[in-house]
Amino acid sequence: LIGTDFSIYFTEPHKAREGYQQVFEKGFVTDYPLTIRHQDGRLVDVLYNASVYKDVQGNVLGVFAAARDVTAQKQAAQYARSLIEASLDPLVTISPEGKITDVNEATMKVTGLAREELIGTDFSVYFTEPDKAREGYQQVFEKGFVTDYPLTIRHRDGKLVDVLYNASVYRDLYGNVLGVFAAARDVTDSKRVMREFSETKNFLDNILQSSTKYSIIGKDLNYRILSWNEGARLNYGYSEEEIIGRDSNILHSPEDLTPGGTVDKMLAKAYEEGLAEGEFLRVRKDSSRYVASVVVTRRNEYAGNSIGYLLMTTDITEKKKAEEKL
């Protein structure tokens, strides 16, 4: 090694020469990245820190350089980067000045802009409420984090995407704050489902205001009762606290609960076709019975998977008695 050209042991000899020339010009270089090539071809990533050294009269004699092997750190960084790029959620880093310093592929998709177009621009301009976006990352610097911060991203074609941001500050090895790392979760579908649920609830509430004779009961696929309205309380005698979580079979007569009987058939039809209706003997809390007209609909989650049933029942005992008399 002694007497040979320093630069020839690197994958980029020109860059190595530029590095030590900078040391003579500036007096030092810090964390100068190079890759050493071993004689067997193996590569080692290093960061050089170098400074000039002088004799007692102050004359420059040469350069003293120390290299830190950062191969493992670089591999870890590459692995972390691959995880970031694989994320379906938009991820972004923001400087203390509010400028974007890095983004992943998901961020490019949700904004419709290339990484080069995003980096260096104001983070807040990609939202429908820029002031609210600025307040969000300012809160991160003040508190250290924000959780489920609601914003709406505007794609370059005008499409809107509702997101919840979770963000925290990130620091260097010495604890100095470098910026904000933010991850956004797309909640557009969730908000749509909640809106539809609210509209359905309002519709059912309107029905209940006009008449409390309708019992509206929700139950899961295992027949556990999940929801119970005022009409159900009046018709069956159970309060919501007493009934939620219990098996709905307590509301049926034993005759209807035989394996493969009317209840099983009706629920099977509702599950397969989405809707079924029929008449049953229902049992109240005080063990009295009444004839009920029942409409069952299958309940699906937003992805389309079945999660249970919604039943609307009406007491038709008097109607049946009138028919029998007639």
Closest C-alpha to 60, from 93, 85, 28: 28
pLDDT for 284 equals 92
The residues with which 283 forms a beta bridge, in sequence order, are 289
Percentage of the chain beyond pLDDT 90 is: 30
Split at pLDDT 50, 70, 90, the class of 223 is: confident
Longest dimension (CA), the chain: 126
**Does residue 40 have a pLDDT over 70?**
yes
Closest C-alpha to 301, from 216, 225, 196, 186: 196
Would residue 125 be called left, alpha or beta, if left means φ above 0 and alpha means ψ between -120 and 50 degrees?
Answer: alpha
Indicate the residue type of 244: I
Q: Which segment, 73-77, 190-194, 262-266, is predicted with the most confidence on average? A: 262-266
What integer is the mean pLDDT of 218-225? 88
Q: Encode pLDDT of 52-64 as tens digits.
A: 988 888 888 899 9
pLDDT for 302 equals 61
The residues with which 141 forms a beta bridge, in sequence order, are none
**Does residue 131 have a pLDDT over 90?**
yes
Other CB atoms within a 10 A radius of the CB of residue 139 amount to 15
| Position with higher pLDDT, 12 vs 280 | 12
Q: Are 231 and 214 in contact (CB under 8 A)?
A: yes
Split at pLDDT 50, 70, 90, the class of 164 is: confident
pTM for the whole structure: 0.43
**What is the rounded distance in angstroms from the CA atom of residue 163 to the CA atom of residue 188?**
7
pLDDT for 203 equals 56
What integer is the mean pLDDT of 268-292? 88
**Does residue 82 have a pLDDT over 90?**
no
Average pLDDT, the chain: 84
What integer is the mean pLDDT of 174-193? 76
**What token pair was written down for 264?**
């099983």
